[in-house]
Structure 1
Amino acid sequence: MENPSKSLKHWLVLAISCGMSASAIGVNLNVIGVFYTPVSESLDIYRGTFAMHATISSLALAFVSLYFAPLLNRFGWKPLLTGAVLLASISTMLMAFTTTIWVFYVLGALRGIGAGLYAMVPLSVIVNNWFEKKKGLAMSLSFGFSGIAGAIFSPVFTSLIAQIGWENSFIAMGLVMFLLALPAILYRYSLDPKEDGYLPYGYDESEESRRKVIKKANWTNFSFTQKSFVFIALIGLLHTSITGISQHLPGFAESNQLSSQVGGVMLSAVMVGNISFKLLIGSISDVLGIVKSTTLMICINILGIFLLLTFSHPVIQIFGAFVFGSVFSVPAVALPLLTTEFFGRALYVRIYPILSFVSGVGGALSMAVVGYVYDFTGTYALAFFTALIFHCVNLCLLFLARRETLRPRTA
């Protein structure tokens, strides 16, 4: 008989969640940057103006995450997932048939709503429910596939745009999003493994009981106004405000008199870094703990910014872009793990959607803001210097949150 806490199905569920991540985050968010320049030049508009459609999409993605739980209770997981995938992919394909910016904004909002219902919150819920041991590794693999999709499809769509135009490339993008999520629709599984007769991977009842006793003493009187929650929310907001820079790396390369090919390689490099550092933080968090791992990722990203700002050689720029890819490891992997670490699994479903929304707002706004920074200053330097300031603030907030968590609480 198959072990209910260690089975092939656990890894198959993880595999289909990887496809969801590649579709909803990888293609939807991490590839859209290759469209900024060709579409804005074709429509004769600012890059920031067109990038605003991605901002609206990301805001919609973040906002709908708040309503994932009630929508799940009303429609059930598979009908909700199917409708979400269809909405995200079809709205993307419809972008091929318009040259009107406000229509792009409407379609971007619809794409974000669809993607949000099978992106950050449901993915983290799947991993949290299906994995107890090796949760960090599972979380990093799941969200790491968004980087794999970005690394693979960024040059693919760059080439497609050159060969068949951005209009037909939007159709191809919608089809790719649908196909990557299709296994999650077809495979039989539940969000809660107990509904399928399984337990979380590596589940130990004695450890779970001991952990619940500890968390109950600390978080019975949890409030969204308590300092630790506010600090973590601010970290999510400020850190994801840096992620929008990655989609502008092709434009950053051109501003440094580098070729568009180098810019395309830099976007692929940042996605390879996305993958690598998500896998790294997941692995080391299982050993060192998530607080130390998050600190390490922030320091590595500071190094990436230093390389991009200091050296103009194409090879160093590409390597700097790879190191900068570490920026994605914190919101994707560290934030859900920090939520579990500081607030416990019992409160996770209540807390994480709020944190996901707040961090999503930061990432969404940065896409357009970084574009406008370049439009009005002629350089991306201000965006990078602001990122360095945010990193310093976040390191302070992380340790303050840790201190608040360890401080004894009175009833």
Structure 2
Amino acid sequence: MNTPSKNLKHWLVLAVSCMMFASAIGLTMNVIGVFYTPVSEDLNIYRGTFAMHATLSSISLAVISLFFAPLIYRFGWKKILTTGVALASLSTIAMAFTNQIWVFYLLGTLRGLGAGLYSMVPLSLIINNWFEKKRGLAMSLSFSFSGIAGAVFSPIFTTLISSSGWENAFIAMGLLMIVLALPAILFPYSLDPKDEGLLPYGHDDSKDTAERLIRKPNWLNFSYTNIAFILIFVIAFTHTSIAGIAQHLPGFAESNFLSEQIGGVLLSAVMIGNITFKLIFGSLSDYLGVIRSSVLTLILNAASIVMLLTLTNIYLLIFAAFLFGTVFTIPSVALPLLTTEFFGKELYVRIYPILSFSAGIGAALSMTLVGYAYDFTGSYALAFTVALVFHMVNIPLLFVAQRHALKRA
């Protein structure tokens, strides 16, 4: 029997949110890489020059996240969602009709702004509002769809580019973004299940009211000098600044005298690990708690880096690359759960966008920083070593942040 806290609509909202995230991040961030080589060769420019438009997308996505809270209060969720989908998809389609790199940069920025209006911050807000029990599972399922979309559509668009050209592929991508996001636009639901006479899934009336969904945040008990906030901000930036190592694994393979095919397998293994560990983390955090699950994830990622640095057996390197996929779990799944754990739902809608901004900037810079580390040293060892240092620092910082969390106070 359906009840206000256990209703089919909870899972339907989760389903349309998964498709929405596949559109906003899965296509715009995880598939766009297949365009780098064909477009750059056709326009006779460096790959990095064209890839810069994707970096601008990441930066603009991070920036718009800072303004999501005031926008949602002023215009409402469905208007923001529709605007974001239109801006992201139309700017992607427009890329088919230009060969000027500055236009690609402009359109890339607009695409990031649009995607930011219906990706990380709104998705995590929906999951936090609609799920109390099994929140970790719901969060991991929804965020894993970015990796699933990347794995499914990357070969499809590669084939489409080869058969019909990159221009038609950009048009197809823009249209697909609309199709994937359309259920979230058309399906009737709100950010707050209470607006529909429902409660968060598994809602427990015995919990303190501070745990319950708050429509608008009260900032009287929060300061940006809060130690927990500062530490989580630092952890978000430093952790995502090493995520770019994944895209350099083909180069890492070649630098170790392995074939290009092995490099491609390593990258595929990372993407499989990306999906797998996101799914595992959600259920694990529901049982062990988000702090223990996050620490375990950081330890596993550190172990994968040590393996990549020291092992030579191809099969073990592939396993290490798979294990390195844990790097994507912290910013996508753990960070929103940690925000709720440390600050509660009352402050979530304002704090998480700032933490998401920190993670977004780190991710945007990561591929460039890792590349420069190799350019200046002739090896990826420096990037791997810095990553290990970050892990050694971030694990104790996480426990310190827990001690100073507002909810504990």
Q: Above 0.5 in TM-score?
A: yes
Indicate the residue corresponding to 1:59 in structure 2: 59
**Alpha-carbon distance between aligned partners in 2 of 1:253 and 1:159, rounded to the nearest angstrom:** 25
**Alpha-carbon distance between aligned partners in 1 of 2:313 and 2:321, rounded to the nearest angstrom:** 12
Indicate the residue corresponding to 2:101 in structure 1: 101
SS in 1 for 2:404: helix
Moved more, 95-104 or 186-195: 95-104
- Give the conservation status (yes or no) of the 8 Å contact 1:55–1:368: no
Indicate the residue corresponding to 1:126 in structure 2: 126
- Give the conservation status (yes or no) of the 8 Å contact 1:51–1:371: no
Indicate the residue corresponding to 2:216 in structure 1: none
SS in 1 for 2:28: helix
Are the structure 2 counterparts of residues 340 and 407 from structure 1 closer, same or farther at C-alpha, using a change threshold of 3 Å? closer
Indicate the residue corresponding to 1:238 in structure 2: 238
Indicate the residue corresponding to 1:49 in structure 2: 49
1:180-201 alpha-carbon deviations (Å, 9 max, x no partner): 1111111111111111221100
Q: CA deviation at 1:75?
A: 2.3
**Alpha-carbon distance between aligned partners in 1 of 2:34 and 2:393, rounded to the nearest angstrom:** 31
**Alpha-carbon distance between aligned partners in 1 of 2:358 and 2:408, rounded to the nearest angstrom:** 27
Q: CA deviation at 1:319?
A: 2.7
Q: CA deviation at 1:32?
A: 2.4
TM-score by length of 2: 0.90
Indicate the residue corresponding to 2:366 in structure 1: 366
Are the structure 2 counterparts of residues 382 and 45 from structure 1 closer, same or farther at C-alpha, using a change threshold of 3 Å? farther
Q: Does residue 1:222 correspond to 2:231, yes or no?
A: no
SS in 2 for 1:30: coil
Indicate the residue corresponding to 2:10 in structure 1: 10
**Alpha-carbon distance between aligned partners in 2 of 1:408 and 1:295, rounded to the nearest angstrom:** 19
Count residues with an aligned counterpart.
403
**Alpha-carbon distance between aligned partners in 1 of 2:102 and 2:109, rounded to the nearest angstrom:** 11
- AA paired with 2:103? V
- AA paired with 2:63? F
**Alpha-carbon distance between aligned partners in 2 of 1:407 and 1:192, rounded to the nearest angstrom:** 22
| Structure 1 runs of 4+ with >6 Å offset | none
Are the structure 2 counterparts of residues 260 and 300 from structure 1 closer, same or farther at C-alpha, using a change threshold of 3 Å? same
SS in 2 for 1:191: coil
Q: CA deviation at 1:27?
A: 1.6
Indicate the residue corresponding to 2:302 in structure 1: 302
Indicate the residue corresponding to 1:35 in structure 2: 35
Q: CA deviation at 1:395?
A: 1.3
1:344-364 alpha-carbon deviations (Å, 9 max, x no partner): 111111211111111111111
Moved more, 31-40 or 14-23: 31-40
Are the structure 2 counterparts of residues 153 and 245 from structure 1 closer, same or farther at C-alpha, using a change threshold of 3 Å? farther
- Give the conservation status (yes or no) of the 8 Å contact 1:52–1:367: no
Are the structure 2 counterparts of residues 36 and 257 from structure 1 closer, same or farther at C-alpha, using a change threshold of 3 Å? farther
Indicate the residue corresponding to 2:82 in structure 1: 82
Question: Percent same amino acid among aligned pairs?
Answer: 67
**Alpha-carbon distance between aligned partners in 1 of 2:378 and 2:46, rounded to the nearest angstrom:** 12
- Give the conservation status (yes or no) of the 8 Å contact 1:34–1:250: no
- Give the conservation status (yes or no) of the 8 Å contact 2:96–2:167: yes
**Alpha-carbon distance between aligned partners in 2 of 1:99 and 1:29, rounded to the nearest angstrom:** 21
CA RMSD of aligned residues (A): 2.5
Q: CA deviation at 1:372?
A: 4.4
Mapping of residues 161-240 of structure 1, within 5 Å = 161-209=161-209, 211=211, 221-240=221-240
SS in 2 for 1:205: coil
Q: CA deviation at 1:95?
A: 2.2
Indicate the residue corresponding to 2:247 in structure 1: 247
**Alpha-carbon distance between aligned partners in 2 of 1:321 and 1:192, rounded to the nearest angstrom:** 39
Q: CA deviation at 1:254?
A: 4.6
SS in 1 for 2:201: coil
Moved more, 13-22 or 317-326: 317-326
Q: CA deviation at 1:60?
A: 0.4
- Give the conservation status (yes or no) of the 8 Å contact 2:139–2:333: yes
Q: Does residue 1:395 correspond to 2:409, yes or no?
A: no
Are the structure 2 counterparts of residues 165 and 242 from structure 1 closer, same or farther at C-alpha, using a change threshold of 3 Å? farther
Are the structure 2 counterparts of residues 263 and 167 from structure 1 closer, same or farther at C-alpha, using a change threshold of 3 Å? farther
Are the structure 2 counterparts of residues 320 and 156 from structure 1 closer, same or farther at C-alpha, using a change threshold of 3 Å? farther
SS in 2 for 1:204: coil
Indicate the residue corresponding to 1:152 in structure 2: 152
- Give the conservation status (yes or no) of the 8 Å contact 1:290–1:338: yes
- Give the conservation status (yes or no) of the 8 Å contact 1:20–1:181: yes
TM-score by length of 1: 0.90
- Give the conservation status (yes or no) of the 8 Å contact 2:5–2:202: yes
Q: CA deviation at 1:242?
A: 1.6
**Alpha-carbon distance between aligned partners in 2 of 1:351 and 1:280, rounded to the nearest angstrom:** 25
Are the structure 2 counterparts of residues 69 and 153 from structure 1 closer, same or farther at C-alpha, using a change threshold of 3 Å? same
Indicate the residue corresponding to 2:215 in structure 1: none
